[in-house]
Amino acid sequence: MAKRVTGPEIEKLIQLLAKVPGLGPRSARRAALHLIKKKDQLLGPLSLAMGEAYDKVKICSRCGNVDTSDPCTVCTDIRRDHSMLIICEDVSDLWALERAGAMNAAYHVLGGTLSPLDGVGPDDLNIRALVDRVSEGTVKEIIIAVNATVEGQTTAHYITDQLSDFNVKITRLAHGVPVGGELDYLDEGTLTAALRARTAI
Amino acid sequence: MAKRVTGPEIEKLIQLLAKVPGLGPRSARRAALHLIKKKDQLLGPLSLAMGEAYDKVKICSRCGNVDTSDPCTVCTDIRRDHSMLIICEDVSDLWALERAGAMNAAYHVLGGTLSPLDGVGPDDLNIRALVDRVSEGTVKEIIIAVNATVEGQTTAHYITDQLSDFNVKITRLAHGVPVGGELDYLDEGTLTAALRARTAI
């Protein structure tokens, strides 16, 4: 914008909103105006909620989840089956798996994948804590739910290797056709995997 | 989400973020995680910026712009030509017109359009202040830059009528083919307007 049309505080708000994923420079402007119009219903409460999250948010020292308590809501949930542990790359994956609601398990968030090119080694991930956790003896099955990428699979192999001394069953997510997906749009690798892992009707 | 996976403060933050235009429930979750990961670079500063905007934001009593000062940055800008007044529906239109940077004029924000069906009459819009402003005698030209909708055009006619006693030139935005637009995708009304208002090359 060539000339200033509003105060520096509002420009600052727009600049920061533009850094939120899902918003760009243009939608940040729209969002800022909407927030200002809904000052008491949205801008005020959101400012407070952000401040509170800023003050209270913690990374769970046990599983790596994001929460305001440590250990987190998942780790302290006694209704869960803590003998089953789902390993995922990121907190967003944990939340996505929980939305599916298929399992009543505990989780362990790695915080990334092994990636030698980016300088990410085993010590940069939450793997040592995982080994310690498994060595406690409670965990009976580990489901490795990392992304189906090269880095994800490398990480899965490394973890399997690290846990080979423990008496735990290690599984991974099935590969196949996404539910609702059309075969025409799928890559050859997925189709091959789906054919090989075909199941009886 | 069936079971809680994180603290109530973070759930609250996600709920509020989902109300920001441009973000939905899913992208609000992603945005919240991103904010938390960038706690010191983004979450903290954004919380403060929102708090500051909440405390300081004002509607300019002269033109209806959103700012932290009253009169606003535009109204107090002595480098602008205050004899030319652009009338628009919303603050977002003012900001959009300023991004174009074509004019160095002052503005007047109506805060909506006349819409009898929604119960919006002349007294609900910033029209009386406009008439007062024009009666000061400084304004020589008024550009009515309302949306090309039925409500916008009705409002434009009403304003023209209200200002008929003053010695000001009243103009409206040109109708025509959007720059970069393809004729094939344009409606008949726009094409007719563009043909009628054709200009010599």
* Sign, Cα dihedral of A28, B27, B53, A16: negative
Decide if pLDDT at B84 tops 90. Answer: yes
Distance in angstroms (rounded) separating the CA atoms of residues A186 and A117: 28
CATH T-level assignment (fold) for domain A74-172 = Dna Topoisomerase Vi A Subunit; Chain: A, domain 2 (3.40.1360)
**Most A CBs within 10 Å: which of B47, B88, B91, as the mutation test of the A interface?**
B47
- The angle formed by the CA atoms of residues A138, A143 and A147, to the nearest 5 degrees, is 145
Q: Write down the pLDDT at residue B2.
A: 60
Residues whose CB falls within 8 Å of the CB of residue A157, separated by 6 or more in sequence, listed in order: none
Closest Cα to residue B71, out of B140, B133, B137, B164? B133
Q: Write down the pLDDT at residue A101.
A: 87
Domain made up of B1-42: CATH architecture: Orthogonal Bundle (1.10)
Over residues A77-130, the pLDDT tens digits come to 999 999 999 999 999 999 999 988 889 999 999 999 999 899 999 999 999 999
Judge whether A115 is closer than 8 Å to chain B, CB to CB. no
Decide if pLDDT at A61 tops 80. Answer: yes
Task: Answer yes or no: do A13 and B74 touch at CB < 8 A.
Answer: no
Averaged pLDDT for residues A40-53: 96
Over residues B167-191, the pLDDT tens digits come to 999 999 999 999 988 888 899 989 9
Decide if pLDDT at B149 tops 50. Answer: yes
Burial of A147-174, coded b for 16+ CB within 10 Å and e otherwise, reads beeebbbebbebbeeebeeeebebebbe
List B residues 72-101 in contact with A (Cβ-Cβ < 8 A).
Answer: 72-74, 77, 79, 90-92, 94-95, 98-99, 101
Closest Cα to residue A172, out of A188, A201, A152? A152
Helices (H), A40-138: 44-56, 91-100, 127-135
Decide if pLDDT at B66 tops 50. Answer: yes
Give one DSSP letter per residue of B3-47, joined into a string. Answer: S--S-HHHHHHHHHHTTSTT--HHHHHHHHHHHHHTIIIIIHHHH
Distance in angstroms (rounded) separating the CA atoms of residues A79 and B190: 63
Distance in angstroms (rounded) separating the CA atoms of residues A57 and B3: 19
Over residues B27-42, the pLDDT tens digits come to 999 999 999 999 999 9
Judge whether B195 is closer than 8 Å to chain A, CB to CB. no
In this predicted complex, what is the ipTM? 0.84
Averaged pLDDT for residues B78-94: 95
B172 forms beta bridges with B144
What CATH number labels B81-201?
3.40.1360.10
Decide if pLDDT at B1 tops 60. Answer: no
**A chain contacts of residue B38, beta-carbon cutoff 8 Å:** 19
Judge whether A127 is closer than 8 Å to chain B, CB to CB. no
Q: Write down the pLDDT at residue B155.
A: 95
Length, in residues, of chain B: 201
**B chain contacts of residue A19, beta-carbon cutoff 8 Å:** 38, 42
Instruction: List the helix and strand counts (H, then E) for chain B.
Output: 7, 6
**A chain contacts of residue B91, beta-carbon cutoff 8 Å:** 33
Task: Answer yes or no: do A7 and B54 touch at CB < 8 A.
Answer: no
Please, what is the average pLDDT of chain B?
93
**Minimum-distance CB partner of A66 among B3, B27, B33:** B33
Helices (H), chain B: 8-17, 25-37, 44-56, 91-100, 127-135, 150-162, 188-196
Domain boundaries, given as residue ranges, for chain A: 8-23+30-56, 74-172
Averaged pLDDT for residues B85-95: 94
Q: Could you tell me the pLDDT band of residue A1, with boundaries at 50, 70 and 90? A: very low
Q: Cβ(B18)–Cβ(B11) under 8 Å? A: no
Residue with tokens 């344009």: B186
Please, what is the average pLDDT of chain A?
93
Q: Could you tell me the pLDDT band of residue A2, with boundaries at 50, 70 and 90? A: low
Averaged pLDDT for residues B89-94: 94
